[in-house]
Amino acid sequence: MRTSLALASLAALIAMLTPLAGTAQRAQPLAPAFSAKELTASPTDSWITNGGNVYNQRYSPLTRINRDNVAQLKPQWRTHLNGSGTESKYSGQAQPLVYDGVIYVPTGANDVFALDVDSGKILWTYQAHLDAGITVVCCGWMSRGVALGDGKIYAGQLDGKLVALDQRSGAVVWSVQAETNADGFSITAAPLYYDGLVITGFAGGDRGSRGRVKAFDARTGKLVWTFYTIPGPGEVGHDTWPADNDTWKFGGAAVWQTPAVDPALGLVYFSTGNPGPDLNGSVRRGDNLFSVSMLAIDAKTGKYRWHFQQVHHDLWDYDAPNPVILFDAVYDGKPRKGIAEVGKTGFVYILDRETGKPLVGIDERAVPQEPRQATAATQPYPRGEPVVPHEIDIVPEGFELVNNGRIFTPFWDKPVIVKPLGTGGANWPPSSYDPETNFFYVCANDGAGAYSTREGGVEWEMPKPGTRYFGGEYTRSGAQRRGIFAAVDLTTNRLAWRQQWAEMCYAGSIVTRGGLVFIGRTDGRLTALDKANGKLLWDFETDAGLHAPVTTFERNGKQYVVALSAGSFFPGTKHGDSVWLFSLEGGAALPSGAGTPSSTGTDSEVLKH
C-alpha cells in the first residue's frame, strides 16, 4: 500500500526546521588501504565502494528497515549542495559512499562533497571547475560516483582528469590527465580502488576514440597498466576488424561503468560499448571485438584473460553499459562462480567468471541479413526470458513494419523500426543482486527506434578525434515507451516477476536482507518495493528526479538510507541539488516535492517531530 508522507502545509514544516549553525566538527578517521576481505564483504556500517562491494552486488545484509516497518521511514535531514549541477545539462547519477560517519558524493558538475551523517553539514567541497566548452559528453554532464581508499577520495572527471583528494579536507593530493577531450575521451563512471590501484574506464565510443581501461598507482597517480578494448595488430581479436582500413583505431568500445573484481582469481571484469561508427557497419566488416563484450583481465598487469561478445558487429547501439555483477550459485548440482550483466538488448548474459563460458545456455541463431551493412550471420540468444519485448505487435503510424521490428533487424538508408531502442533495454542504471534468492533486479525500458544510415555509402573517411562518429541516426518511432522493472532468477535466466511503469525506468537499485528493493523514479519519488513480488510498500517524493542508486548503512544502532536527488538531462527531469537522509526515527515528514534547490545554501535542514 502506498503511504503518503505529507503535512498539511509547507509553512507548518518550515516552522519546525532547525538550521545547524556551529556544529562541532569531529576528526575524520582515514580509510585504510582496504584489504580484499574488506572490499568483498557485504556493507554494514559503511559503503566503501561504488557497488557496495567489489562484486558490484549492491546488496545490504541490514534488516532494521524491513518490509514490515518501511512505511515508517522518514527524512531526517536534507542538505543542498551549493546549487552544484542544477542546470539542465547536468545529471545526478552518483551513488554516495559512506565511511565512519561521513558521506562522499559528487554532482553532475563533478564537484565532490563530504557531509557529516549526524548533522548533514557539509564538511568540505572540491570544485572541479570544468570547462564549459566541453563538447565530447554523450548524454548529459554527470559523475556516477567516487572511490575511497588509503586516506583519499578518487574522482574521474568529464575533462579526462583523474584526481585524488585528501579524505579529510578535499585538497588535491594528485591529479593526472588520464585522457583528453581532444581525443574524444571523458570519464563518467566511479573509479575502482583495489590493491593499491585506481582503475577507470573511459567514455567516448561515438567520438572516434579507441576504448581503454587504465590503472594508476593510488599513492602517486603514476600509470601502471593500460588495456585497450579494441585490440591492435598481433593481439587477440584484431582480425575481427578490416585489414584494408584503420577503423580499429577509432573503434569505440567505451567503458561506462565501474569494474568488478574477484580477488581470489586476481581478475577485473567489465563490459564495453558499441563499435564506431555506431550505425554504419559497412566500413568495419567483422565481429569488431571487443565491442559490446564482457571482459576479464589480470588485475595486476591488465593482460587479457577472456571475453564474451553479446552482439556481433553491432549496428543498433546495443552497447553494454550496465555494471557487471559477480555471484556464486549452484548449477547442475555444482557450486559455480558466476558473472552476469543485462545489456541494452534486454537479454541477461550469465557466464562462468573463471572461463567466460555460459552457465545458462546461449545459442547462436541466424539473423536477417543486409549485405550493405556487412551483417553478422548469427547473434547470441541467451536461453530463458528477456527483460523487454523483442518485437512490435502493432505497426506505428507512418511506418512499414519489417520482420515485425524484431531485435537484430538490419537497415540501410531508409528508416526501419526495431526493438529494443538504442537507449535500451537496460542502460547505465546499476542492477542489484540478492545472494539469498539469486534474484537479479533490473531497470529497463521498452521502446522502439527508427534506424537508418545517414551517409548511405560505404566509403570510409578518417574521423576527426573528438567529433561525432555515429554513421546514421535512430529516432523515436511513435511506439509508446514504458519503464520496466524486473527480477530475474540467475539460476534459470527466467523472470521471477516483472512490472511496467507509465514513465521511464532510469535509476539504479539496491536490495536488502530486510526484504526490500530501493529505487528512485523520474517524478522524484524514492520507492521501496517488496523484493519478493515488486509490491510498492513506501514512497516519498523528493524535490527532483531521483536517478542515482541510494546507499544504506548502520550507525549507532540505527539504519539509514541516503539519496542524491538532482534530476537528469536525458529524461529531462526536474533538477535539484539535495542529499536526503532517511531513517525510521526520522523527523517531520516533508510535503510532496517540498523545497527548491538553493543556489548558495550550504546549511542543512533537520526535520524534527
Active-site residue numbers?
317
Instruction: Say how many Å lie between the first and final Cα of the chain, rounded.
Output: 24
Count the Cβ atoms, other than its own, within 10 Å of residue 427.
23
Residue that the C-alpha cell 547473434 belongs to: 379
Contact (CB, 8 A) for 567 and 574: yes
Determine how many CB atoms are found less than 10 A away from the CB of residue 491.
Answer: 17
CB 131 within 8 A of CB 79: no
Cα–Cα distances in Å, from 288 out to 248, 285, 296, 350, 596?
8, 8, 17, 21, 47
**Distance, C-alpha 56 to centroid of its chain:** 11
Please count the other Cβ atoms lying within 10 Å of the Cβ belonging to residue 197: 22
Strands (E), 29-160: 59-60, 74-80, 90-92, 97-99, 102-106, 112-116, 122-126, 141-143, 147-149, 152-156
Which of 356, 363, 340 shows the shortest CA–CA distance to 439? 340
Closest to 214 (Cα-Cα) out of 204, 205, 224, 229: 224
Measure the CA dihedral 296/323/550/70, to 10°.
-100
Length of the chain: 609
Cβ partners under 8 Å of residue 246, min gap 6: 462
